[in-house]
Amino acid sequence: MSSPSIFILGAAGYIGGTVLTDLLKTYPASTITTLARNESKAALLMPLGIHTVVGSLDDLALLAPLVEAADVVLNFAVPFGGGDAAIQALVDGLEVRARKTSTKPVLLQTSGTGSILYGADGVRGTDVWRDSDHARWAALPDSAYFHTGDKIIAAAAARGIISAYIIMSPTVYGPGTGLGNKLSLQVPAYVRYAKRTGRAAYIGAGDNLWGNVHVSDLSTLYLLVLAHALASPAETTASAESAGWSNLIYGGLNEHTWGPIVSLIGDRLYARGEVAQPGAVSINEGDADGYMFGGNSFMAPSEKAKALGWRQKAPGFEEAIKLALA
């Protein structure tokens, strides 16, 4: 399908905006509609010439016709808590479309490895998750970040009426290419803390392990999954034994511990005259700002993504920080 109708939630955001930029290049004849939270977000997207509807994820009556008109839905508007009714509405609307049109619409749901966050005080963990650990994903408690929404997608993937996938991201870095937010969450949080206090800081031992991916590489993964789903709909139903979790794909390529990364941030800010000392110091987790984590959130690289041809092309994490703080 060279010109699918696409509905995007979160197109003015960091990941969503970057994926939208690449979608417009890859599917130039497609019809794209976006949902924006307010008029200011909608205004950001106006130069792209796409149709934007202003509304809330909570307005299910608004969502229904937009979803049912789409061949593809990309959801980047994923809150840490709640939002499950909207996710269910996306599934329901696409399943209605599938039955009406005898096609297999596609739903790509954004998630994050915050769902497996464990440990504290910057102590390195030894537990390695894999996106092929289907039983472990099914057994996660509902209290885990994103998990109740992910369960809705897994159930849809198991039914197989639509092509439903979860793309689970770790630390995402690098400049976004969309017209809205161009910044990630975690690195800017460490930079803001350093500028506010005069020194960069990591939590505890600073040896806690996370995965990472450049936002442009992550966008490539979304497009690879989408291309596969559009080209081979018969192959997109999740395996029965996985209860739908075989359609979870991890979107990370490399790993890091936070101590060295934050020390690099401190060195770069010191060279720019923006903090009082180079390197970084250890602080207690209770003294940290939001999106500064002392736990571990690491997964092994995805064989599923590799099978789709996904490879790193963008700069690595440390190189990207050096470029950003040159």
Position 80 scores a pLDDT of 55
Could you read off the pLDDT of 8-32 as tens digits, one per residue? 999 999 999 999 999 999 999 999 9
Residue 255 φ then ψ, to 5°? -135, 160
Residue 121 confidence (pLDDT) above 80: yes
Instruction: Flag whether pLDDT at 226 surpasses 80.
Output: yes
Using alpha carbons, select from 87, 105, 84 the residue that is nearest to residue 96.
105
pLDDT tens-place string over residues 249-287: 999 999 999 999 999 999 999 999 999 999 999 999 999
- Mean pLDDT over 89-110 rounds to 98
Confidence class for position 82, pLDDT limits 50, 70, 90: low
What is the value of pTM for the model shown? 0.97
pLDDT (0 to 100) of residue 2 = 74
Nearest Cα to 304, choosing from 254, 265, 263, 248? 248
Q: Which of 74-88, 130-144, 255-269 has the lowest mean pLDDT?
A: 74-88
pLDDT at residue number 79: 66
State the Cα–Cα distance between residues 294 and 285, nearest whole angstrom.
6
As a whole number of Å, the CA-based R_g of the chain is 20
Question: What does the pLDDT average to over 78-93?
Answer: 84
Measured distance CA(316)–CA(239) in Å, rounded: 34
Residue 81 pLDDT greater than 60, yes or no: no
